[in-house]
Amino acid sequence: MRLILLTAWLPALALAGGSNYGVAPGSRDIAGKITEWNVPTPRFARDPAPGPDGHIYIAVMNGNRIARFDTKARAFKEWELPENARPHGLVVAKDGHVFYTGNGNGSIGELDPATGKIVSHFTPSQGGNPHTVVLDEAGNVWFTAQGGYLGKLDRASARVSEIPMPGGPYGLAIDRQGRVWVCLMGANALGIYDPKSGKTEQLRTGPGSRPRRIAAAPDGMLWVTYYGSGKLAKVNPAAKQVVKEYAMPAGERAGPYAVTVDGAGRVWANEIDSDTVAL
């Protein structure tokens, strides 16, 4: 398994001000360089995330470890996790603590890289396959569990709660109103949970769409990969509406998976079944 860093350059038009940047998703007018580094434990390294220290943290799922790539020294460090944790996703808080989903032992793990201390916060059901994780503005940890729920770790109390959410919850993101949006891959829908009211609702994404991952953009919009139909969708969370769908460059069977939005508002998505990254 390798850590891959992609740097890209866009034409001058794409760097203009505003939220459009002159390049529609799917444009091939880019150039870039890919650099790779071998992860020390090459056993399903996945879901990298940047930390406030500028380093990259990686879940090594089948190796039962968290790896850190020092972006200055170009060197790795690894921490072994509790037995059968099998980390799937992770996120790094402002204080540097790494929170990972313990897919194998039904927990949200907390690693302090400064001391190496690891704390396991077990879910009430102690199962459910914790999957993808994000942080809210208060620093609380929200996560999906493919067993059919949305979860939250309150950092102040260390309490883990579960909210039922059937439909194969996968990726998730939080909008500016604090609502949690969840990709319901098995239901062809986005789940919407409002922590203030406790209300849950759905936005349908169309037959066969299979929404997989979702990301929030600087302008407040949400971007969703449709794994089943090979599309990238833009969602207005305030209106609870799909604004537009874009066909991915590699076609219907490209398998769009991960999606993120950079500081300039550019949307990046990978096509897992064609080994490509689209901008």
Residue-level pLDDT at 30: 57
pLDDT in tens, 36-66: 999 999 999 999 999 999 999 999 999 999 9
Residue-level pLDDT at 25: 44
Q: Residue 1: pLDDT band by 50, 70, 90 thresholds?
A: low
Q: Residue 127: pLDDT band by 50, 70, 90 thresholds?
A: confident
What is the arithmetic mean of pLDDT over 252-257?
92
Residue-level pLDDT at 18: 26
Sequence ranges of the domains in the chain: 1-10+25-164, 167-279
**Common-topology check for domains 1-10+25-164 and 167-279:** yes
Residue 85 carries which side chain, given as an amino acid letter?
Answer: A
pLDDT at 35 over 50: yes
pLDDT in tens, 185-204: 999 999 999 999 999 999 99
CATH number for the domain whose boundaries are 167-279: 2.130.10.10
Note the CATH architecture for domain 1-10+25-164: 7 Propeller (2.130)
Report the 10 Å Cβ neighbour count for 72: 8
Please work out, in degrees rounded to the nearest 5, the angle formed at the alpha carbon of residue 262 by the alpha carbons of 268 and 135. 105
CA-based nearest residue to 148, from 122, 161, 167, 131: 167
Backbone angles phi, psi at 15, to 5 degrees: -95, 5
Torsion sign over Cα 136, 140, 146, 147: negative
What is the arithmetic mean of pLDDT over 98-125?
96
Who has greater pLDDT, 226 or 3? 226
- Average pLDDT over all residues of the chain: 89
**Inter-CA distances, 168 with 98, 127, 165, 269, Å:** 25, 15, 8, 21
Q: DSSP letter at 179?
A: P
pLDDT at 23 over 50: no
